[in-house]
Amino acid sequence: MLGDVVKIFIPTALTFFLGLFLTPFATHFFYKYKMWKRFSRNENVIHADFQKIHNETDELNTPRIGGVIIWFSVLFVVLLFYILSLVLQTPVSEKVNFLSRNQTLIPFFTLIIGSLIGLVDDLIQIYGKGKIAHDDSAWRKWKVIIISAISILIGIWFYYKLGMTSIHIPFGGDLYLGYLIIPFFLLVSLATFSGGVIDGIDGLSGGVLASIFGAYGAIAFINNQVDIAALCGAITGGILAFLWFNIPPARFYMGETGIMGLTITLATIAFLTNTVFILPIIAMALVVTSGSVILQSISKKLRGGKRIFRLAPIHHHFEALGWPSHKVTMRFWIFSVIFSIIGIIVASIS
């Protein structure tokens, strides 16, 4: 038991301090090459409430690929322990290695691939030209197609390689899906990815995602999936290092290279821990954020342009009401921690 705790604690602490160490060098690089958006969202948004709360100067002068710090730190730590286990081949080196085929290979792969695709998206918006640099609807559709393709491949791995054919319903037993586990994972992955719109205020996404991955680390530990718990710990450490420099005023934004990899990885871990129906509880902040956008869009279409919220996502609604951005952020953090704790409790007793 103590050895398992140490196995989780070491990568968590290492990714955190590695992220802190790397950030000054990364920040210098980001600002040297002006790695921020070329075009402001104000160009396509005419609503007065948005223009009132949106700081165009910050958006066009703050780097947007800070998520690199998260996944690079995780990548380094995972590979470090894996290589040590191969080179040293001692009980200790093998114990600390947490890259395993049945637990962490797929979420680690998902994190890196998703983050690299997100990095390409960020670079397009930084250095691209034409409609694609404005993140137009056609490019957003292509992103959904790419995410869908990755999700289908992961679903196939779950079904054919890991023999995953059912999902657990809290307090209700297991639901057999068979090969339908593949399209079901696709739906969950896209739904989780849609929660990425939470990356809209300094510190908001970092604090929320840290509590979510921390909760899944606890759930994996309870399930005796120590490798997954260690990976969640490493990701949490990387997010906290990012958050250290992302609190207002943000030194950089997470960008798609952070959001894309983290959200898809979250869906993957939810399936591997057999807690997919608890995911909406733990990730309630993402659900509410994504849901507010969906409800706003439906309301506009069905009610002749009438809105439910002054702005969507909902965190901008609170800003439009006059809440300072730091108040919105910290209340979202509290909200996320509370639901993360509830999720851990439900997972442990169901």
Q: Dump pLDDT digits (tens) for 223-262.
A: 999 999 999 999 999 999 999 999 888 899 999 999 999 9
Q: Helix (H, G, I), strand (E, B), or coil: what is residue 200?
A: coil
pLDDT tens digit sequence for 185-211? 999 999 999 888 888 899 999 999 999
What residues contact residue 251 under an 8 Å CB cut-off, 6+ apart?
A: 23, 27, 62, 63, 66, 245
**pLDDT class for 305, splitting at 50, 70, 90?**
confident
Phi, psi of 170 (to 5 degrees): -55, 130
pLDDT in tens, 63-106: 989 999 999 999 999 999 999 999 988 888 888 999 998 899 99
* Cα radius of gyration rounded to whole Å, the chain: 20
* pLDDT for residue 47: 60
Q: Which comes out higher in pLDDT, residue 50 or 280? A: 280
Instruction: Tell me phi and psi for residue 185, to 5 degrees.
Output: -65, -35
Under 8 Å between Cβ of 296 and 312: yes
48-51 long-range contacts, CB within 8 A, separation 24+: 49/310, 49/311, 49/316, 49/320, 50/311, 50/316, 50/320
Query: How far is CA 219 from each of CA 55, 75, 172, 290, rounded to the nearest angstrom?
Result: 39, 22, 18, 24
> pLDDT at position 8, please?
95
Question: How does pLDDT run across 17-75, given as a tens digit for each residue?
Answer: 999 999 999 999 999 988 887 766 555 455 666 666 655 556 678 898 999 999 999 99
The average pLDDT across 143-170 equals 93
pLDDT, the chain, mean: 90
Among 339, 238, 233, CA closest to 286: 339
